[in-house]
């Protein structure tokens, strides 16, 4: 299966996904992990799951894509049940900071979301995005069907053949198993913290670069 086009890479990455705070060290509570969308609003939508470094940055970019109705920051790829931000940041849970994307397949395809994923981070750095190091920041494209797996592997092959990146792509293509929503303070972080130094110096410039490169994809 071949993808229809290749997006140029956007290699700006998060300079830091903040160290755990005291609040993050409390035992996880699923009641503190509500999303901004109701179950009724999410009903009937398709889902996609990706991990590409600090989830604050990743959530902001995917939220801007036409056809995407909701993006939730969380954890996936590991074996620990109900992980906390503090536990994941320790790097011992096997989980990566991830996002769950709820989208309308009549407006945006899984193929386009995969292209956004590969163009909005560096898929050639093992367990690292910029200075954020550890397996919790690794690059993973999760698939839920054989068709999605085929599409992802074909697209990686296309990127490699086109020499889009200077180094080999090390992104994991993995079957989706479970997604754990992150604590409420990590949801819509950029929108809720516009004056945070991290947001001003990293998130906003990265988002503006994405919009400039791919205006056709932005709401």
pLDDT tens for each residue of 112-141: 999 999 988 899 999 998 667 899 999 999
Say if CB 50 and CB 58 are below 8 A apart.
yes
Q: Is 130 helix (H, G, I), strand (E, B) or coil?
A: coil
Give the list of residues 6+ apart from residue 169 with CB closer than 8 angstroms, or none: 118, 123, 124, 156, 159, 160
Q: What average pLDDT score do residues 69-97 get?
A: 95
CA dist 63 and 47 (Å) reads 13
Mean pLDDT, the chain, rounded, equals 85
**What is the predicted pLDDT for the residue at 196?**
87
Query: Over the stretch 164-219, which tens digit does the pLDDT of each residue have?
Result: 999 999 999 999 999 999 999 999 998 998 998 878 887 788 788 888 889 999 99
**What is the predicted pLDDT for the residue at 27?**
42
Which segments of 32-138 are extended strands (E)?
Answer: 46-52, 68-76, 96-103, 128-129, 132-133
Query: Over the stretch 89-119, which tens digit does the pLDDT of each residue have?
Result: 999 999 999 999 999 999 999 999 999 999 8
**What is the predicted pLDDT for the residue at 12?**
43
Query: Between 145 and 205, where is the model more confident?
Result: 145
Which segments of 38-93 are extended strands (E)?
Answer: 46-52, 68-76
Q: Is 115 helix (H, G, I), strand (E, B) or coil?
A: helix
Q: Of 14, 54, 57, 191, which one is the catalytic site residue?
A: 54
pLDDT band of residue 5 (cuts 50, 70, 90) is: low
CA dist 171 and 138 (Å) reads 8
Query: Between 143 and 20, where is the model more confident?
Result: 143
**191 catalytically annotated:** no
CA dihedral 44, 46, 49, 55 (to 10 degrees): -60
CA dist 214 and 146 (Å) reads 28
Residue given tokens 């303070």 in the structure block: 185
Please give the model's pTM, rounded to 2 decimal places.
0.86
């Amino acid at each position: 299966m071949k993808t229809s086009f290749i997006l140029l890479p956007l290699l700006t990455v998060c300079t830091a996904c903040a160290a755990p705070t005291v609040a993050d060290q409390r035992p996880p509570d699923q009641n503190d992990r509500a999303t901004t969308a109701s179950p009724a609003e999410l009903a009937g939508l398709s889902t996609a799951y990706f991990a590409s470094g600090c989830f604050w940055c990743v959530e902001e970019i995917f939220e801007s894509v036409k056809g995407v109705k909701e993006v939730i920051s969380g954890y996936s790829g590991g074996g620990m049940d109900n992980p906390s931000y503090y536990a994941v940041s320790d790097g011992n849970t096997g989980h990566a900071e991830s996002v769950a994307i709820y989208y309308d397949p009549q407006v945006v395809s899984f193929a386009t979301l995969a292209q956004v994923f590969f163009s909005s981070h560096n898929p050639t750095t093992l367990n690292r995005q910029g200075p954020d190091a550890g397996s919790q920041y690794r690059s993973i494209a999760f698939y839920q069907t054989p068709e999605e797996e085929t599409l992802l592997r074909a697209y990686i092959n296309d990127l490699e053949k086109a020499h889009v990146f200077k180094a080999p792509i090390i992104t994991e293509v993995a079957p989706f198993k479970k997604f754990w929503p992150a604590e409420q303070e990590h949801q819509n972080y950029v929108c809720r913290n516009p004056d945070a130094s991290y947001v001003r110096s990293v998130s906003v410039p990265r988002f503006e670069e994405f919009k400039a490169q791919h205006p056709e994809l932005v709401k």
